[in-house]
Structure 1
C-alpha cells in the first residue's frame, strides 16, 4: 500500500505511545467501514491499556450492533455535554473514514475550537488541509479498515490487534467493498483479509450479521424500491430509485435500512450508473455507484456538492425530491454528452 509520507506512520506511533486518553470519531451516519475502523482501533488501544472512547456524531445502523465494544459508543447528538467533556480531557483525537470537518456535522464546531492533537486515517480523495496534524490518506485502499490494519502493522502494533478488533476491521472491508465486489482489485486487500482470517475471525458469522440479518420492514422497503420505484434511463445507461420521507415512514425506516439499495441497479445489464435519492428533513441525500468507466465522484462533485471514489460517491441536494430527480436527468445527459458517454 502506498503511504507516500512514511513519517506519518512514525508520528502515529509516537502519538499513540505518548497518549493515555484517546477519543476516536467516525463520520456522521457511520457505515460499516467507519464504525468498523473506530471499534477496531478502540479494541486494539484498549488492549494497549489506553483509556479509549468512541464518539459517533449520530446513530448507526442496527446491523452493526454485534461489534465488540459497540455498547460503549457515545452518540454525540444525544450526549453533547458528556462528549465535549471527553474531548476536552483527551490527549489525542483520531478521525477515521472522513477527511473534512463537515463530515461530522455539528461535531465539527467542537473541533474548530479544540486544540487536542489529532490523527486522521482515511481513504477518501482530496483531504481537507489541516484536519489533523497527522494525516494518513490512501485513496487506493479499499476501505479505511484496510488502511487502518496496514497502519497498525507498519507501526509495530500488529500483536496488539485482538480477534475482536480484527472482526470489526474485516466487517469494514466487507461493507465498503460489497463483499469484495468493488473497490477490491488490489492484491494487498486479499492479503489483509487472509491475515485477519489467521487471527481467528468468524467470517461466516460476520457475513450473517451484516448481510443476512434483515428486518421484515427493511425487506418490504427493498421490495417496494425495486418493484415500484426503480426507473431506467436507457440513453444514459443509468437507473435510479427515489424514496420520499412518507415512503420511509410507511416501512418503519431505521438508519441503515437503505444500505446497499444503490447497488441493486448495477445488476441490470446495460446499466453503468445507479443512483439512490433519499428524502431527509431538509435535504435529499444521494448515493451513486458506477461501472464501465463512469466517474461517479466527478459527476457528484460537479452537480451535487459531493464526491468520493471513482465508482462510489455521494452528494446532496437542497431541492425537493422531485426537482432533484428532474435535475439529475438533465445534468446526467449533459455530463454524458460532454464526456463521451453517449
Structure 2
C-alpha cells in the first residue's frame, strides 16, 4: 500500500508526536463533509483506543446524514463554543488538521492558530498546500481521500492495530463520500486494498451506505426534484450542465446543511455532459461546486475564474457576485476557457 509520500521522515515525526502527546485536538475544515468528519473521527477513535485524551473541534456544524458516526456526539462546534474550544486548543499538546491545507479553510477558527505555537500536523490530499499550515505536512494529492491517506499513515506509523471497528467505519465513510462510492478519484489499486482491509476489520458496509446515501429526508428529496426538474440547464456547446439554487428556494424546502450534498454529480449522468456545476446562494457569497469527467480540468477552471481549486475532476470555488450574475459569468468564462484550451 505505497503512496507517494515524498518525505518519509514526516511519518516518523507523526509517530513521535503521537507517542509523546496525551492531549490531542483534531480539526477538520469548515462545513465538514464525509471525508473531513470521517478522517477526524477515524483518528479520534483510534487515539482514544490508544489511551489519548483526544477532542475533535469542528469550525461549524456538519450535515445530519453523518450523525451516525461513532464519537460524533463528542465533537465540539467551535462557533457555538468559542471559549471552551479555544481553551482546549491552548491546553493541548498536539493539533492535527485533516482534509485541508490552508488556515483560510477553517474560517474564523484560523485566527486561533496564527499565534498559537502548539505543534501541528496536517494530513490532507488537496493539491498546493499552503506553506506553514503545520509543522509536519503530510500531503498526497493522488490519494482518493484524506481518509485513505490517514489509514496509510496510521499503518506506516505502526498504529494499524489501534484502529477500532468504529474508526474503520468512519474511514470507510470518508472514502465512499469523497469518491462517490468509488466512481471517481479512485483508479489506484491501493484504494481498494485499503477498502479490503477495512472490510476485514468487520465494518458493515451496507449499513454505512444506507446511512450516507439512502437516508434522505422528505424535504431533501423534494429539493432534489426541484433542482433537477426546474433548475438544471444544459450548455450543449461546451458539454456542460448546471444547477443554481437561491436562498429563497432553499428556505422553501426547509434546507439543512448537507441537503445539497451530491447534487452536483447528477448532471454527469447525462450523456455528453463532461462538466457539472452547482451554484448555491449563501448570505454573502455564492458557493460553487464542479465535477467533471474525461479530460476537463475542474480544478484549473475553478482556480482561473472562481477563486477555488481542488482535484482534476472535483473542485470548488466561490463568487461574490449575485447568483444570476455568477451564472452568467460562468457561461461566459466557460466558453472562453473551452476555446482557449480546445475542450470543445
State how far apart, in whole Å, the 2-side matches of 1:111 and 1:211 are.
35
Q: Which residue of 2 aligns with 1:299?
A: 301
Structure 2's unaligned 5+ residue stretches are none
Counterpart pick for 1:59 among 58, 61, 67: 61
Q: Which residue of 2 aligns with 1:13?
A: 15
Offset of 1:340 from its aligned partner?
0.4
Counterpart pick for 2:186 among 184, 206, 215: 184
Q: Which residue of 1 aligns with 2:157?
A: 155
**SS of corresponding position for 2:114:** helix
Equivalent positions of 1:83-232 (< 5 A) are: 83-232=85-234
Q: Which runs of 4+ in 1 moved over 6 A?
A: none
State how far apart, in whole Å, the 2-side matches of 1:3 and 1:292 are.
27
Q: Which residue of 2 aligns with 1:33?
A: 35
**SS of corresponding position for 1:95:** strand
Q: Which residue of 2 aligns with 1:256?
A: 258
Offset of 1:292 from its aligned partner?
1.3
Offset of 1:2 from its aligned partner?
1.1
Offset of 1:307 from its aligned partner?
0.1
Count of residues in Structure 1 that have an aligned counterpart in Structure 2: 342
**SS of corresponding position for 2:316:** strand
State how far apart, in whole Å, the 2-side matches of 1:340 and 1:264 are.
25
Question: What whole-Å deviation, never above 9, does each CA across 1:11-66 have from its counterpart, x for those lacking one?
Answer: 00000000000000000000000000000000000000000000000000000000
**SS of corresponding position for 2:68:** coil
**SS of corresponding position for 1:277:** strand
Offset of 1:113 from its aligned partner?
1.5
Question: What whole-Å deviation, never above 9, does each CA across 1:214-273 have from its counterpart, x for those lacking one?
Answer: 000000000000000000000000000000000000000000000000000000000000
State how far apart, in whole Å, the 1-side matches of 2:116 and 2:59 are.
16
**TM-score (norm. length: structure 1):** 1.00
Offset of 1:126 from its aligned partner?
0.2
Question: What whole-Å deviation, never above 9, does each CA across 1:85-136 have from its counterpart, x for those lacking one?
Answer: 0000000000000000000000001100211000000000000001101000
Structure 1's unaligned 5+ residue stretches are none
Q: Which residue of 2 aligns with 1:46?
A: 48
State how far apart, in whole Å, the 1-side matches of 2:161 and 2:242 are.
45
**SS of corresponding position for 1:16:** helix
Offset of 1:291 from its aligned partner?
0.6
Does 2:314 match 1:320?
A: no
Counterpart pick for 1:337 among 317, 336, 339: 339
Q: Root-mean-square deviation (CA), in Å?
A: 0.3
**TM-score (norm. length: structure 2):** 0.99
**SS of corresponding position for 1:126:** coil
Offset of 1:189 from its aligned partner?
0.2
**SS of corresponding position for 2:202:** coil
